[in-house]
Structure 1
Amino acid sequence: MPQANNQHIFVVDDDEDDQFLLRQVLIQYTPNTSIRVLTDGEELLTALTDEQSLPDLVLLDLNMPRMGGLEALRHIRADPTYDRLPVVILTTSDSDGDRQQAYDLKADGYLVKPGTQQQMNQLILTVKRQWL
């Protein structure tokens, strides 16, 4: 089981409101975790290359400018360096096609962004249990 301290999460999402909400809930439920917010897949790939160590988890939105989540996931899974990196799609899309494509690209999970704060709290608790 991973250490409860010093975990690092990348939140990759271009929506400022979603970034803020995710940060707040993650800080509340995983207080010893550092959070790095990135706005698209290109920033994610650069950050993964530049970091000294891999994050413990990537929460990845699908619909972003420059490079979306599925394309970023395709790049990540093509590089054996990232074989053990947990990547969970966190998106507004409840499309079966998007979900299937994400799993075909070896996403570790696919979660639809909830509509309420309470649902977001529950979602982050699920993320914590399953991937942190």
Structure 2
Amino acid sequence: MVFVTCWQGFLSRFYKLDMNDGPILYVGGDEDDRYLVTDALEAIGRSNKVINFDNGMVLVDYLKSNQERPFIILCDLYLPQMTGLELKEHINSDDQLKRRTIPFIFLSESVNPKDVDDAYMSLVQGFYVKVPTFEGLKKQLRIICEYWETATLPGEKL
């Protein structure tokens, strides 16, 4: 029993199991994209719950009413009601949301260099141009998730 407890402690130090169990939040304006991203995350073996949002205001409402720490936010650039950039700026301007330090990654079909520049100026943690194949999407999502599993965020046990 002591061995199991020590082993779990060892694993949680290196794999941050407690911080990686939160839901993956995906904000995409297109129902097909929401389905594909969810399906790809399941296909790569992610056990995180995936919560889909069709616009940024619904995500903001969710974040304000739910204190569970999400693993990451994946966001399309072009959304109804507000763009992904406007959503990121809204999160940055709200002290309560900003202090939660949730990794915010754009996953968009945009290939406009200005969009990429604007995204990084808004302090986004990553920008990925969504690949057109399911296998490519799975690879992108695997890379994103593996990176954030090993990154150290504020508030984590060190």
What TM-score range do you get, normalising by the shorter chain?
over 0.9
- State yes or no: 1:52 paired with 2:91: no
Partner of 1:68: 83
More strand by share: 1
Output the CA distance in 2 between the equivalents of 1:107 and 1:61: 12
How many Å apart are 1:128 and its aligned residue? Answer: 1.2
Question: Any residues of structure 2 matched to 1:1-132 within 5 Å, and which?
Answer: 1-3=15-17, 6-81=21-96, 82-83=98-99, 84-132=101-149
Provide structure 1 residue ranges, at least 5 long, that are not aligned to the other structure.
Answer: none
Task: Return the index of the structure with the highest Cα Rg.
Answer: 2
SS in 1 for 2:49: strand
Shift of residue 28 of structure 1?
Answer: 2.1
Q: Distance in 2 between matches of 1:32 and 1:122?
A: 16
The TM-score, its normalising length taken from structure 2, stands at 0.78
SS of 1:37's equivalent?
Answer: strand
Aligned residues between the structures: 132
Identity %: 27
TM-score (norm 1): 0.92
Q: Pairwise CA RMSD of aligned residues? A: 1.5
Query: Would you tell me which structure has more helix in proportion to its own residues?
Result: 2
Unaligned runs of 5+ in 2: 1-14, 150-158
